[in-house]
Structure 1
Amino acid sequence: MKRSLLAALSITVFSSTAFAAGGYTGPSATVPIVTTAAANQASDDTRVVLEGTIVKRLKKDQFEFKDSTGTITVEIKKKLWPEVAISDVTKVRLTGEIDRDWFDRKVDVKQIELTN
């Protein structure tokens, strides 16, 4: 009796440990927003991937980003900037999420990449 209970308990513990170590690695059901026009209408925490140019600095870590559909404010922390200089004509891809509060909406950038 004790032996079968111990065996059943061991199987349960080891199988749950193996399952916890894995996880789903397939595609996501959510598709990120890819234009500033859509980003300006999106809800808080919506994932975005934008391609265009950073046209000017607004505040310390806030910038105006522009693509063919409009502009949006983006927040880019200093540690995210690449080692190369970026000007208002440099094409970039920004990955982040919408940060919306009562009066404004901006993109909290998590990654910045140079594009061709």
Structure 2
Amino acid sequence: MNKMLLALFVTGSILSTASAWAGKSDQVIMTEAAQKMVTVAEAKKLPDETAVTLSGVIVRKTQKDHFELKDSSGKIGMEVDSDLWRPMGLKAGDKVKVIGEVDTNTGQATDIDVVQIGKMENQSDKWTWYNQH
């Protein structure tokens, strides 16, 4: 009986630790971000893993899956997985709305890890959304 309890305790500890490493699910991030529309300047001051929504214009692609977003308060880097940006043909000049997490990297600039992105289509005020799978 004691061995069974010990096994259950160890298994539970491992599973709870693994879920802590995994971070928030995309659904949780989207739910939290819906309540936190911020500017670029505000996002740069927020703690790591804060869910946010931002909007602005793509300035440029900086690396393979990295872009720079600009709004009236400044610029910030974004990591956008290729399964999001490629189907939408994301490029400089596109007006976008971004949902993601603040990512504070030691020794590097704060950026946004994107889980959902919407692109304004033809100035029609219609957004086309792209989600991570």
Residue 82 of structure 1, CA deviation: 6.1
Distance across 2 between alignment mates of 1:113 and 1:82: 13
Length, aligned pairs only: 89
Specify whether residues 46 and 93 from structure 1 end up closer, same or farther in structure 2 by C-alpha distance, changes over 3 A only. Answer: same
Structure 1 counterpart of 2:117, from 100, 112, 115: 112
Cross-structure match for 2:65: 61
Distance across 1 between alignment mates of 2:69 and 2:51: 16
Partner of 1:37: 41
Where in structure 1 are there 5+ consecutive unaligned residues? 1-26
Task: For structure 2, list consecutive stretches of 5 or more residues without a partner in the other structure.
Answer: 1-30, 126-133
Alpha-carbon shift at residue 75 of structure 1 (Å): 0.3
The two structures have a TM-score, normalised by structure 2, of 0.60
Q: Which residue of 2 aligns with 1:15?
A: none
3-state SS in 2 of match to 1:37: helix
Distance 2:86 2:67 in 1: 15
- List per-residue Cα deviations over 1:52-107 (Å, max 9, x = no partner): 11111111111111011100010000011263433322211010001112122110
Q: Is residue 53–residue 91 contact of structure 1 (8 Å, CA) maintained in 2?
A: yes
Map of 1:87 onto structure 2: 91
Hey, which bits of structure 1, 4+ residues long, moved more than 6 A?
Answer: none
By how many angstroms is 1:33 displaced? 4.2
CA RMSD of superposed structures (Å): 2.0
CA distance in 1, matches of 2:82, 2:112: 15
Identity %: 36
Aligned to 2:101: 97
Residue 31 (structure 1) shift: 3.3
Aligned runs of 1:45-56 on 2, under 5 Å?
A: 45-56=49-60
